[in-house]
Amino acid sequence: MVGIGRVGLPLALFLVDKGHTVYGIDVDSQKVNFILKGQMPFLEEGAETILRKNLNKSFLVSTDFANIAKTQIIILTLGTPVDENMNPSLVQIDKALQSASPYFKRGQLLILRSTVSPGTTDYVKSYLNDLGKIKVGTNFYLAFCPERIAEGRSLLELAEIPQIVGGIDRLSAQKAAEFFENLGIGVNRTDNVSAELAKLFTNMYRYINFAIANEFMILAGNHHRDIYRIVELVNKNYKRGGLALPGLTGGPCLFKDGFFLVGDVPFADLITTSWKINESIPLFLIKKIRERTKLEGKKTVILGLAFKAEIDDIRESLAFKVKKALERERAKVFLHDPYVPGYQNDLDEILGDADLIFLATNHSYYQNLDIAKVKKLVSANCVICDVWNIFRTNKIIFTVKSLESHLAKKQTEGLGDIFEAKWRDL
């Protein structure tokens, strides 16, 4: 049994494709009914083919928690959100355990899959032991086994990326490790708290690196230089390079995970400052745009709403922070994303007479735009904010006129593109 959210559903389909019978359970009846039509509720490469092939055969989807009693392995794909004070909240996990506990039985293995705050697996152990009918480590098994895959490529990466297995005890670790090893997945065994911290450290390491890149962008701007050429100079043919390119850094995990850690750190400046830097980038960019052009009453278009490229997930996306900032400037804001339902409007119509284009997500769709066509659609003095360097100008803020002249010069001189920061995918 697994959940059928963005973490659980790809895993369920991966297991089905490996020959397992899987019960997918969710409290959201609307989502369940959508999946029962053979449709994926979000983008995931290769998933819909497996879904339609196995639906109502080896993949059974419902809202009925009683199906848990039919299974040997239970995979809980609920993480730990934060409350209004940015403190970890276990409400979702409490509700799931309350609904599932009548159907737990001896011999089952419960795997916590999503990101949780340190100590959550111990909390679940205590909850389970209080039920009275099972005893964790003796006749019921518990482990934290975090996912570390990229949305949109889950089915591919599930088979490639080693699985961290954090058992609450030695026997639980063994049971969980055997489950993943039998799927052909490499396993790194540890205890549950180390596994919880490993998942958080993975996310925060990336988040801090992104903050450094964004801070360097600001520092370069203070010297009237753009960051892209400087990053190339740092990294090109240098074995100790690796500096990232700047960009909008969001998403449901990176936004909140640092707050699971700072309570235990007497000097939490690194993590909290990274959060402040990354969250401030939209306002910094709007400020720089405002220095170039008046925004009041201007038509502005935000291209890309997902928190990263090639997915349709808008949770904690900084594109909406950009939207709010532009609206505070009394700009007229229009939104577009080729993958997000409700925003897949005609791009030519949206760009018509635009005074500002803000590239918030580096979808490949936007990298293939016809620049000459864009120039004809937008206003003559249209300003472009391209923090991802999609148009390869090596500038963050520029006019559509300079974009065309840059491309002409590039074709004449044969200048090469700088490298893409593909590793920035989260």
Residue 282, Cα to own-chain centre: how many angstroms?
Answer: 18
Same domain, 153 and 210: no
Neighbours of 10 (CB within 10 A): 30
Please give the chain's pLDDT, 426 residues, in tens.
677 888 899 999 999 999 999 999 999 999 999 999 999 999 999 999 999 999 999 999 999 999 999 999 999 998 666 665 666 678 889 999 999 999 999 999 999 998 888 899 999 999 999 999 999 999 999 999 999 988 889 999 999 999 999 999 999 999 999 999 999 999 999 999 999 999 988 888 888 899 999 999 999 988 988 899 999 999 999 988 889 999 988 776 655 565 666 566 555 677 788 888 989 999 999 999 999 999 999 999 999 999 999 999 999 899 999 999 999 999 999 999 999 999 999 999 999 999 999 999 999 999 989 888 999 999 999 999 999 999 988 999 999 988 766 666 555 554 344 333 333 333
Same domain, 218 and 173: no
**CA angle, 99 as apex, 35 and 20 as ends, to 5°?**
50
Token pair in block for residue 29? 């009846």
Domains in the chain, number? 2
In a domain, 3, yes or no: no
First to last CA, the chain: 26
- Say which amino acid occupies 38: G
In a domain, 376, yes or no: yes
In a domain, 195, yes or no: no
The size of the chain, in residues, is: 426
CATH of the domain at 21: 3.40.50.720
Same domain, 45 and 154: yes
What is the C-alpha to C-alpha distance for residues 245 and 417, in angstroms, rounded to an integer?
14
Q: What is the pLDDT of residues 342-372, one digit of tens each?
A: 999 999 999 999 999 999 999 999 998 988 8
Q: Residue 359: which of 291, 301, 417, 288 has the closest Cα? A: 301
What's the pLDDT score for residue 396?
Answer: 93
C-alpha dist (Å) from residue 234 to 10, 215, 258, 285, 424: 38, 15, 28, 24, 17
User: Which residues on neighbouring strands pair with residue 168, listed in sequence order?
Assistant: none
In a domain, 190, yes or no: no
Same domain, 104 and 177: yes
Same domain, 212 and 69: no
The domain boundary, picked from 185, 220, 246, lies at: 185
In a domain, 154, yes or no: yes
Which residue carries 């989807």 as its tokens?
A: 61
C-alpha dist (Å) from residue 276 to 166, 246, 261, 265: 31, 15, 16, 17
In a domain, 418, yes or no: yes
Same domain, 178 and 212: no
Same domain, 295 and 403: yes
> Judging by DSSP bridges, how do beta strands 163-167 and 187-191 pair with one another?
parallel
Same domain, 227 and 349: yes
Same domain, 181 and 220: no
What is the C-alpha to C-alpha distance for residues 289 and 276, in angstroms, rounded to an integer?
20
Same domain, 234 and 357: yes
In a domain, 193, yes or no: no
Q: Residue 145: which of 119, 165, 125 has the closest Cα? A: 165
What's the pLDDT score for residue 423?
Answer: 32
User: Which residues on neighbouring strands pair with residue 176, listed in sequence order?
Assistant: none
Q: Are 273 and 262 within 8 A, CB to CB?
A: no
Encode burial over 355-368: b for 16+ CB neighbours within 10 A, e otherwise.
bbbbbbbbbebbee
Same domain, 214 and 77: no
What's the pLDDT score for residue 419?
Answer: 35
Same domain, 235 and 156: no
Question: Full-prediction pTM beyond 0.75?
Answer: yes
The domain boundary, picked from 129, 150, 185, lies at: 185
Q: What DSSP line would sit under 224-261, residue for residue? A: T--HHHHHHHHHTT-TT--PPPP-----HHHHHGGGGT
The domain boundary, picked from 161, 185, 209, lies at: 185
| Domain coverage including residue 323 | 201-424
What is the C-alpha to C-alpha distance for residues 110 and 143, in angstroms, rounded to an integer?
7
148 CB burial (10 A radius; 0-12, 13-18, 19+): middle
What's the pLDDT score for residue 254?
Answer: 59
